Amino acid sequence: MGLLSGVLLLPLAPVRGVVWISDRLVDAAEAELYDPAVIRVRLAELNRALDDGEIDLARFEREEERLLDILDRKSPVPGPGVRP
C-alpha cells in the first residue's frame, strides 16, 4: 500500500476494524457450534428433557437429528428462530 493510498483510505480504518472483529466473532461462534463436546452436552440435555417430559417425542427427534447432522458435519438443518 503506497503512502497516497494509505492516506486516502485512512478514513476507512474504523470500518476495516469492525469487519475484522465481526470475522473473529463469526469464527468463534462457528467453532463453538461445531465443537463435538458442546454438541454431546446438548444431546444429553435433550435426552434429559425428554425423560423429564419437558419436550415431546417429535421435538426430541427433530432436535436430535439437527444436532447429529451438525456432529457429522453435514449441512445443519436450521432450528427454530435460526435463519438459513
Per-residue pLDDT tens for 57-70?
999 999 999 999 98
- Residue recorded with cell 438459513: 84
Question: Cα 55 to the chain's mean position, in Å?
Answer: 23
Task: Choose among 31, 49, 52: nearest CA to 62.
Answer: 49
* Structure confidence by residue, pLDDT tens digits, 15-49: 888 999 999 999 999 888 888 999 999 999 999 99
| pTM exceeds 0.85 for this model | no
Please report the pLDDT score of residue 84 as a whole number. Answer: 45
Question: Mean pLDDT in the chain?
Answer: 84
Distance in angstroms (rounded) separating the CA atoms of residues 6 and 81 = 42
Amino acid at 56: D
